[in-house]
């Protein structure tokens, strides 16, 4: 166990084969997903298959992640989200959970030693989940990694740790309830976009492509809200067996479905705009009547004024939430 955290996030890069370089070049002539998410499933079953220990399987899964991040950088994919540890995983045996927490701490501690490479690639590390559920030493390691990379913005690595989508949505609703209770928000301010911004992943983009290994064909409570317009790819291999060829096949699948997905997203965006405009008109009119104002030909001005005030409230609340989360991470960090 002592060496489980020693492998690097950014090891010495291996030269790609000629055929791999050609295939990547061909793939890059099409649309490349900006954000790819991975459900890295099958580490334990791979270890059983190869007669390794469970923790060795998880460690090999991490090594596969570092290789995959290298492919993403080469392909120009700016954002990656990985499902590292579900809240449901706490139900596993005590020994396995302790081993996974030790592994997680070692990997996040290792990031401090690779700070130069993180800054070189401009990678911002974000952690999505209920971090308070993690052991204190893991919380500190996570907070340190987040803190040292917060200023970067060229690429994003989102690690879902102590995460489920149901927990994320529940927490977002609680944040909104507090906002309304403290009069930072009005109930009429709440909409899909605001709820999304209150989630752990509120600063991230929606994933264009979600890949799951192990042969399971389900999302397992991963990014349920964010995946509504994602291309889904399910592979019948274990995560440590994932190769560049599997990855390129998934990207081709994304490219083939790209136009239809964009049509759906565009329709949804237009629908949300129409609903928001209708809501603003209704509330602006209600507000004007309560104030005793006469509504003649100035309805457009009233709606515009209401919209600006609503956006001001929403932006102030989002900034409050952002600062609250920064303060939480800073309170767990052990570095200046």
The predicted-structure confidence for 271-301, as pLDDT tens digits, reads as follows 999 999 999 999 999 998 888 777 666 888 9
pLDDT of residue 170: 98
Q: Helical H runs in the chain?
A: 18-27, 43-50, 54-75, 94-113, 115-121, 136-149, 165-181, 192-197, 244-290, 299-332
Higher pLDDT, residue 97 or 290 = 97
pLDDT of residue 218: 97
SS3 for 199? coil
Cβ(153)–Cβ(133) below 8 Å = no
Which range is least confidently modeled, 193-197, 200-204, 286-290?
286-290
The answer, yes or no, to whether residue 23 has pLDDT greater than 80, is: yes
Give 101-153 pLDDT, tens digit per residue: 999 999 999 999 999 999 999 999 999 999 999 999 999 999 999 999 999 99
Question: Contact, 234 vs 217, CB < 8 A?
Answer: yes
d(CA 269, CA 263): 10
Query: How many residues are recorded in the chain?
Result: 336
Backbone angles phi, psi at 16, to 5 degrees: -75, 150
pLDDT on residue 6 = 62
Q: Which DSSP symbol is given to 23?
A: H
Mean of pLDDT values over 170-180: 98
User: Using CA atoms, how far apart are residues 139 and 77, in angstroms rounded to an integer?
Assistant: 28
Residue 198, both tokens? 């209150």
Euclidean distance between CA atoms 257 and 31, whole angstroms = 11
Residue 192 pLDDT: 95
- Residue 2: pLDDT band (50, 70, 90) is very low
């Amino acid at each position: 166990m002592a060496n489980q955290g020693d492998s690097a996030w950014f090891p010495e890069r291996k030269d790609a084969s000629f055929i791999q370089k050609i295939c990547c070049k061909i793939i890059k002539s099409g649309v490349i997903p900006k954000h790819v998410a991975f459900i890295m499933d099958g580490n334990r079953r791979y270890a059983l298959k190869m007669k390794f220990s469970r923790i060795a399987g998880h460690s090999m899964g991490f090594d596969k992640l570092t290789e995959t991040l290298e492919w993403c950088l080469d392909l120009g994919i700016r954002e990656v989200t990985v499902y590292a540890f579900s809240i449901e995983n706490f139900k596993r045996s005590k020994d396995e959970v302790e081993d996974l927490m030790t592994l997680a701490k070692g990997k996040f501690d290792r990031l401090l030693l690779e700070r130069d490479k993180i800054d070189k690639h401009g990678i911002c590390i974000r952690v999505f989940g209920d971090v308070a559920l993690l052991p204190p030493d893991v919380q500190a390691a996570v907070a340190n990694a987040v803190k040292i990379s917060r200023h970067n913005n060229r690429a994003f690595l989102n690690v879902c740790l102590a995460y489920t989508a149901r927990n994320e949505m529940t927490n977002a609703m609680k944040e909104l309830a507090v906002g309304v209770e403290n009069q930072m928000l009005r109930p009429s301010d709440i909409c899909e976009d605001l709820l999304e911004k209150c989630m752990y992943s509120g600063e991230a983009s929606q994933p264009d492509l979600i890949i799951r290994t192990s042969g399971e064909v389900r999302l397992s409570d991963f990014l349920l809200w964010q995946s509504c317009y994602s291309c889904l790819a399910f592979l019948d291999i274990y995560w440590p067996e994932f190769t560049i060829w599997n990855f390129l096949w998934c990207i081709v699948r994304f490219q083939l479905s790209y136009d239809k997905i964009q049509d759906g997203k565009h329709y949804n965006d237009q629908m949300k705009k129409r609903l928001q405009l209708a809501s603003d008109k209704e509330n602006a009119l209600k507000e004007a009547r309560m104030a005793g104002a006469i509504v003649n030909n100035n309805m457009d001005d009233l709606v515009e004024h209401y919209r600006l005030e609503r956006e001001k409230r929403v932006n102030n609340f989002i900034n409050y939430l952002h600062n609250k989360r920064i303060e939480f991470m800073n309170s767990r960090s052990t570095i200046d």
